[in-house]
Amino acid sequence: MAAPNSMRTFGIVAGLMAASIWGGMYVVSKVVLDVFPPFILLTLRLILGALALGIVVLIRGWRPITGKHGLQLLGIGVVGFGISVGLQFVGTDLSSAANAALITSASPAFILLFGALLLGEPVTFRRLAALALASLGVLAVLNPATVDLSQPTSRGNLALVAAAITWGLYSVLVKQASREAPTTEVSLLGFVGGLFVSVPLGIMEGGQGTPGPLSLPILLGVVYLGLVSTALAMYLWNRSLAILEAGLVSLLFFAQPVVGVGLGAIFLGEELGLAFWAGSALIGTGLLLAAFPGRRRAFTPQETDGVRSKRGGLAK
Domain coordinates in residue numbering, the chain: 5-291
**Residue 282, Cα to own-chain centre: how many angstroms?**
19
Higher-confidence position of 30 and 166: 166
Nearest Cα residue to 38 out of 201, 170, 209:
201
Higher-confidence position of 49 and 315: 49
pLDDT at 309: 43
pLDDT tens-digit map of 238-273:
899 888 888 788 888 878 877 877 776 777 566 667
Global pTM? 0.77
Residue 237 pLDDT > 80: yes
Confidence of residue 224 (pLDDT cuts 50, 70, 90): very high
pLDDT tens-digit map of 176-199:
887 778 888 999 999 999 999 999
Nearest Cα residue to 141 out of 92, 97, 85, 101:
101
Cβ atoms of 119 and 246 closer than 8 Å: yes
Higher-confidence position of 178 and 93: 93
* Mean pLDDT of the chain, nearest integer: 81
Task: Give the number of other CB atoms < 10 A from CB of residue 306.
Answer: 12
pLDDT at 299: 38
Residue 3 pLDDT > 90: no
Residue 80 pLDDT > 90: yes
pLDDT tens-digit map of 34-44:
899 999 999 99
pLDDT at 307: 40
